[in-house]
Structure 1
Amino acid sequence: MICPHCSIELLYRSRGDGRCARCRKRFALEPRGAPLRLHDLRVRALSDRLRDGRDLRYTLTQFRYAAARRRLPELNRVANWALTIWCGVLLWGTFILALVSGLAVLTVIGIGVALLVGGIALNLAARPVLRRLTTVRMPLTAERLVTDVLEPWQKVYQQWPPGMIDEDQVPIPMPASPRYALVCPNRSVLACLAANGVPAAYDMALLEDPRQVPAGLPVLVLHNASLPGLALARDARQWFGPRARVLGIAPKMVMDNEGAIRLRERPTRRADRAFLAGEPVSEREVRWLAAGWWSPVAAMPPAALLRAVSRAVERIDAQWDPERAQARRVGFLSWPAA
């Protein structure tokens, strides 16, 4: 790893006590033991990326997803472990058989090779089933992020990484006279939008429950790319009619995106996804959801969330309030300082 203080490359034996062998300053995270092999410079890089060069605020959850991007468990891991265990058992079994059976060495080797080939063939045949039943979950929980990353970080740097906020501690203000409402059942998303000034910028009410939406307001809907998320989008369109603007995320936005956070539970029941027949989703998206895949809207970085909200408001204003839309385009309505 690179020392976060003096930038020299440190071999493991040069940093065993949690200090740089050259400058003797302490660092927070040892990549060999930290979750997702995090180290101080990577935490800083993730923080800079989430802040987007303009001091945006981001939540613990957004950081956790950013850290796990491209580091999620593989679908073939169960099959690979099964094959590894089989090869190990076979190796030792063949060795013991050669010692105690009295069979010729070539005979024992032949038996071992036959069993190896059979095991590989069986493993390959079982892989589709194993892949279908294998889950993909976050390798870093919120609790481990706090205890194994943030607490050591705070001991060294006396504060959290720049821009990070605890979504449970962020107040969600309600404008006195809201012009728009945004519904998202994820507290992290609402906290990010609130911390970055969205309620003041747009006179926007940020709500977890669609039943809390004041009468008559245009409603923006942010949801997971999941069966419950699409059910929320369906309900919003039914409840609010043309006032509803579903921003996503849709399965098609993430299912082919290698950089997206794509998680997986067990395959869903046919009855649970029957409502998709009347929804604007493709057959390929339905199959993706049926296989148990989903993607959290909380994995969207702050800049992407703010951009989605801004564009949605512009479209609403263009339709319902052209004068306000023009004022926003020429800069009369400016973004407040976060």
Structure 2
Amino acid sequence: MLQLGDEIALFSVVFVVVLLGTRSPIWSTALTACLYAFLIMFRFPQVPTSQARQVLRPAKNAASGGVSLVAHRGGGHDAPENTMAAIREAHKNGATGVELDLEFTSDGVPILMHDETVDRTTNGSGPLTQLSFSELSKLDAAAKHRLSDKFQGEKVPTLQEAVEECIKLQLTIYFDVKGHPDEAAAALKEMYQKHPVLYNTSIVCSFEPKVIYRMRQADPEVVTALTHRPWSLCRLGDGTPRFSSLWKHHWMQALDVIVDWAHHHLLWNLCGVSAFLVQKNFISPDYVQYWAQRGVEVVGWTVNTAEEKQYYQEILNVSYITDSLLEDCDPHY
């Protein structure tokens, strides 16, 4: 049952906003009550704490103080991102988990790829929606990497290949789903049914709440997380304004406030997530405590310097996602 005490801010804001808009206490009360009923009926409960902890803070992480060291895109600085080589290098370099991006080819094969096109990481070009898996398999996934000579000829792997390798290496998997809610939920559900060990060794994450909600509908036993970066609508990952138009920038700022409020007061509860993946610049001890009171773990990204890693492990005691297990590097957004 949803606890009103914890969500008093949510219902208070809804009541006041509706009251200001309608000037009717009856309508305000009715719509606030409808929201409460909606959450009661359609929210997903969090998976058991013991299961979530196995995924987010497995016993094997004792050497790192209990926190997870997760290689972003498999560790895109140390090896070509989202490849089998990246997974193996991450394991060799001491990662306890890997974050992998799920995408689909034109013929519906689930593969690892961050972008919607192959231009940035391979020697090919064009959107994935126009490339079949047979065409994709001919590309060199290491072509644009700084260590392309070392990893020359690396292929874009299927989801199945990546999952089997991670299970073999006992790596926790953070499945990052960019879109395709129905296709992703179906593909991941099949993976979990084929490899039940994933229920205690993986988590499904997304910036899109619809993806997470669809995943919980497909399989409510899966551990899930929302990914969030405040001000993402009005600013790029490095903090620079996304739009040159001042009015558009301020409009997106206003939308960012609404989106941020919804993530912290509504969406996490509706989806029943066990973790909240947040851009590193917005995490503090108070922020970690805020989510701990709600039974939600905070995971920071992308933590790429030795000083930051030490702070996350020793001061915050928070798991983090990093581009490199070996050296300081600039973050990939």
Same fold per superposition (TM over 0.5): no
Q: Please report the TM-score for the alignment, with normalisation by the length of structure 2.
A: 0.27
Q: Please report the TM-score for the alignment, with normalisation by the length of structure 1.
A: 0.27
The structure that is helix-richer by fraction is 1
The structure that is strand-richer by fraction is 2
Q: Which has the larger radius of gyration?
A: 1
